[in-house]
Amino acid sequence: MARLPSLRGPKVPQQVPRLVAVFALAAIALIAARYFLVPASFGEKGHYRAAALDTIVAREKQYAGQQECALCHSAIMDARLAGNHQGVACESCHGPAAAHAANPVEAKPSVPREREFCPRCHAYNPARPTGFPQIDPVAHNPLAPCVSCHDPHQPEPPVTPESCSACHRQIVSQKAVSHHATLLCTTCHRAPDGHKTSPRTVRPGKPSDRNFCGSCHSADASSPQQIPRINLRTHNPRYVCWQCHYPHYPETS
């Protein structure tokens, strides 16, 4: 006798009901967490807790703002705005000054004079931007307070730096362990004297084409024989050298 086909559909795998149950429980838990954990005022004025504004306003005022400083210290403010510390707020060095602004006689601002203060920003740190003035606190005029040579409000160096490392220590340190260690910075960069005193307005020159690197590294260059050579016409002719080789650490990529 022929067997009749089953009218029942395919059997649901036993894992499916379990997954449905897990996702359902997770959804319920998320809804409950949002209900109990998200503050009632969240989202009223933006993606934050609106009631936090009342908490902040109720706090005692700590900072005065540089506008308050300028009311009494206009000469110092003018000097700072004309120097390299123009982007540094007064209270970054002198601490919160709301109490001093309210009562200048009784509440005195902090006046940091110890040597350890300035290296918080100016001690060598490779994470800082290229060109940011950095020094080695151990080797740079040891034991002398920074304010004995630098006016904090116009901190330009009293003597024009003789070495690029005064501002570009990260690059100098990296170049020192590369194949370009013996090259002077001025071998590749034209640095006018004005760059040492006004680095933002007087920029150093940089190589602009492949022929510059080729003056040492092309097969027909007159440089010492131990220098790596390439055929400048066939070696990646569509690219300039520094797209593949970082000049301050030019090991083969």
pLDDT in tens, 212-224: 999 999 999 998 8
pLDDT one-digit tens code per residue, 195-218: 887 787 888 899 999 999 999 999
Q: Which of 69-73, 111-115, 131-135, 179-183 has the lowest mean pLDDT?
A: 131-135
Domain boundaries, the chain: 62-111, 118-146+158-204, 207-253
Mean local confidence (pLDDT), 233-247: 92
Tokens of 60: 């005692």
pLDDT one-digit tens code per residue, 21-40: 999 999 999 999 988 888 88
Q: Which CATH class is domain 62-111?
A: mainly alpha
Mean local confidence (pLDDT), 86-102: 94
pLDDT of residue 195: 86
- pLDDT score of 253 more than 60: no
pLDDT of residue 9: 62
- What CA–CA distance (Å, rounded) separates 126 from 144? 24
- pLDDT score of 77 more than 90: yes
Tokens of 102: 């309210």
- pLDDT score of 158 more than 60: yes
pLDDT of residue 62: 92
pLDDT of residue 2: 57
Mean local confidence (pLDDT), 52-75: 92
pLDDT top residue among 96 and 131: 96
Confidence of residue 1 (pLDDT cuts 50, 70, 90): low
- pLDDT score of 46 more than 60: yes
Mean pLDDT of the chain: 88
| Per-position b or e across 87-118, b if 16+ CB within 10 A of its CB | ebebbebbeebbbbbeeeeeeebeebeebebb
- What CA–CA distance (Å, rounded) separates 91 from 77? 12
Gyration radius of the chain's alpha carbons: 32
- pLDDT score of 63 more than 90: yes
pLDDT of residue 5: 58
